[in-house]
Chain A
Amino acid sequence: MLPRLIPILICGLGLASASAQEPPRSIDLSKFPAAAVDDVVVPVPSEIFNVLDKLGSPNWKAEMRDNLGKNTGNRAQVALLLGTIIADGFIAVEAEDSERVKDIGQEVLTLADAINVRKAVIARSKSITEKADAKNWPAVRSEFDGALQDVKGAMEELGDDDLAQLVSLGGWIRGTEVLTSIVGKNYTPDGAELLNQPELVNYFTRRIDNMRNSRLKKEALVGRVRKLLRDIKPLITKGSIPVATVQKINTMTNEVVVQITTEEP
């Protein structure tokens, strides 16, 4: 594992080439200084759905949930739930279910209100409704991407960085549940390769380990998410991911999504 802990030193290795020159064919990532490596850029859900679009036509309606869960008043649960519901927005877009998309847009607004970031998503929610009515699916998808970023940005401005990470995590867990469900039902190595995200899992784990809000960190649900990440990590290392592993990850993520959805304070 390279990234943050084992960063790179390219200056001395001649990577700094003149502008018109060809870059080096390879670099020694293990010598990169830690301060010179930024945290992992968390992909937006559209990047994954974009690939899934190219892999075939899954039955997206079968992936939709009847019960999106409810706000229990526990901030960690609300943040995780918000992330899962935004992910459900993408599934409804794939299923081209405009009524469901609008319901989810409204639910996002309600949950954002519960954690004081309603203002950040009002415009998005309105836009989601308008674009869902117009069945402009790429635009709806883009609005859900934007809603996720807006919610996180607003939380960070409020100093709630830890909570913002939980929104990302909720989205990632629900997204992974759906991804593994689809790939597990119609397995291809290319589909399974989408799970090759070890550095992202490391990043999320670090973010939980380094939470400044100790109360949040001690939440049972946060501990459960951390365990999930720890358990998934060895399953998605380099190399092909067999169907049995895909299905195992599906079971693991499904259990946590159910906990996020039904958790009582």
Chain B
Amino acid sequence: MTTSRKFILALALAGLGILPVALAHVDDALSFAQEAALPYVKQGFTVREDAWGGDLGVKDQKAVTAQLFKGNEYWFWLGTDIRGAVVTVHVYDSDGKLAESDFWQKGRFAGAKVIPQKTGTYYAIVTVEKSPKERTTWALVYGYK
């Protein structure tokens, strides 16, 4: 099962109130990712309704593979519900070259902007840099315009 599908399942279970506490945090992480995205909606970005997420140990990383199109602008937003955690997201093209034109990091939030120079496969690399917890739940959303 992919992370995204696990994530959807987690959200479904959370809705039924039968989710273990740790998994319920994924839902919370999503609310932080969406919070990070909010200001960009006013800039004309459409935020996708689905999201990707899971949990990682400190210094662990996850690559989310995405098909991006030249002609669009994209922002990826990452969030975690773990207070004191520091997470980052950076985007690379299929040759492993840094593809983002902007990025920021603010504690439990992070963002990376991509204006693709070519249509193709890109990798959003999620990293948990610091965390008071052994496992840190995270959620990633992206938007385009």
Residues in A lying within 8 Å of B, measured CB to CB? 2-4, 7-8, 10-11, 15-20, 23-29, 32, 36-44, 46-48, 50-51, 54-55, 142, 145-146, 149, 153, 156-157, 161, 190, 193-200, 203, 238
* In the complex, the 6 A-B pairs of residues with the closest C-beta atoms, listed nearest first: A51-B71, A199-B121, A23-B90, A19-B105, A41-B66, A39-B2
Task: State A149–B70 Cα separation when bound (angstroms).
Answer: 23
Task: Count A-B contacts at CB 8 Å.
Answer: 148
Q: For residue B71, which residues in chain A have a CB less than 8 angstroms away from its CB?
A: 50-51, 54-55, 190, 194
- Contact among A27, A54, A200 with B125 in the assembled complex (CB-CB below 8 Å): A27
Q: A15-B125, A19-B88 are in contact. List 17 more A-B contacts (CB 8 A).
A: A3-B121, A15-B90, A16-B129, A23-B103, A26-B95, A26-B97, A29-B94, A36-B61, A36-B62, A38-B3, A41-B64, A47-B144, A50-B69, A50-B72, A149-B50, A153-B8, A198-B120
The residues of A that contact B64 with a CB separation of less than 8 Å are 38, 41
State the Cβ distance, A212 to closest chain B Cβ, in Å.
11
Total interface residues on B, CB under 8 Å, equals 51
Cβ contacts A to B, 15 pairs, < 8 Å: A8-B123, A15-B90, A16-B127, A19-B129, A27-B96, A38-B3, A38-B64, A40-B65, A43-B67, A43-B68, A50-B144, A149-B49, A156-B8, A190-B71, A203-B65
Q: Which residues of A contact B59 (CB under 8 A)?
A: 11, 16
Q: Are the C-beta atoms of A199 and B103 separated by less than 8 Å? A: no
Task: Give Cα A24 to B70, complex, Å.
Answer: 23
